[in-house]
Amino acid sequence: MKRVQAELKNGIFNLMMKVGNISDESVHRGMRLFKTEVLPQVADL
């Protein structure tokens, strides 16, 4: 994300997290990790 944002200077990422038949458990785990681990590192980009 940091690399893409540095190159494209975009202000919005749209994350498609239900991909194909990936399990709903994986999606929910990803959402939790997004909040606790990812967002704190990229919110200020």
Longest Cα separation, the chain: 32
Binding stretches for another protein (CB under 8 A): 1, 4-5, 7-24, 26-35, 37-39, 41-45
CB of 41 to another protein, least distance (A): 7
CB of 36 to another protein, least distance (A): 9
Element (H, E) at 25: helix 24-33
Q: What are the tokens at 6?
A: 């540095």
